[in-house]
Amino acid sequence: ALLDHLGAPQAVLGGTSLGANVALEVAVSAPERVRGLLVEAPVLDNALEAGLLAASPLLLTTRVLPFTLDAARLLSRPVPRSLLPFWAGVAVDVLDQRSGPTAALLHGLLFGRLAPRSRERRQIAAPTLVVGHPRDPLHPTSDADLLASEVPGAELVRARGVLEWRLRPERLTNVAIGFCQSSWRAPSRRRRAAGR
């Protein structure tokens, strides 16, 4: 729907964490729209335990004590983000959540489909760049390794740390730009299929 709204028949899609999973879902459900996938820190099979530990208490809080999240939102809402350093603004934005939608999101994470299944991931034909984070319990490198091994022709790049792309983005940004440009220069699958 977003691509339709923008008038873009195709795009290089990317995302981090659950955003990476959304990009994978699009590649599975509408492969003709995807010129490439840039996937950072996907959340797949190996993140299950850490995800349960992180999301379960918050889900319980949003269901049983929703007023606590709503109170945090009321306190954080009036704080002017433009006056805060970047990471402080991120922290305040985390507090600025409504309990109902947050509970629905967490419920979906814990009990819904988190990502395409392995057999679906193996059928992704779009050029794919996977960026893995070392020492990240919510986004284990093993999930990035798994995805890179499943998607045919995928390239794996290891970040030097969890915050490399946020604090020293030059290396990974240059890799991402090169990948996006090469994905866009490559003939689309639709044109390749027509030439067969």
Domain ranges, residue 138: 2-44+120-195
Of 196 and 55, the structure prediction assigns the larger pLDDT to: 55
107 and 144 housed in the same domain: no
128 and 190 housed in the same domain: yes
Q: Which of 74, 92, 111 is the last residue of a domain?
A: 111
Task: Supply the pLDDT for residue 188.
Answer: 63
The 8-class DSSP code of residue 139 comes to S
146 and 182 housed in the same domain: yes
Task: Supply the pLDDT for residue 190.
Answer: 45
Q: Which of 87, 111, 135 is the last residue of a domain?
A: 111
Q: pLDDT tens digit string along 134-188?
A: 988 889 999 999 999 999 999 999 999 999 999 999 999 999 999 999 998 877 6
* Residue 132, φ and ψ in degrees, nearest 5: -105, 145
Task: Give the mean model confidence (pLDDT) for residues 46-55.
Answer: 77
53 and 68 housed in the same domain: yes
66 and 102 housed in the same domain: yes
182 and 136 housed in the same domain: yes
Share of the chain above pLDDT 90, in %: 54
List alpha helices for 96-150, DSSP H.
99-111, 118-121, 141-150
CATH of the domain at 39: 3.40.50.1820
97 and 160 housed in the same domain: no
81 and 169 housed in the same domain: no
Q: Which of 82, 111, 140 is the last residue of a domain?
A: 111
Structural Rg of the chain based on CA atoms: 19
15 and 106 housed in the same domain: no
167 and 188 housed in the same domain: yes
Whether 60 has a pLDDT exceeding 70, the answer reads yes
Q: How many domains does the chain have?
A: 2
130 and 36 housed in the same domain: yes
Angstrom CA distances, 98 to 75, 92, 105, 171, stand at 12, 13, 11, 37
7 and 69 housed in the same domain: no
Task: Supply the pLDDT for residue 191.
Answer: 39
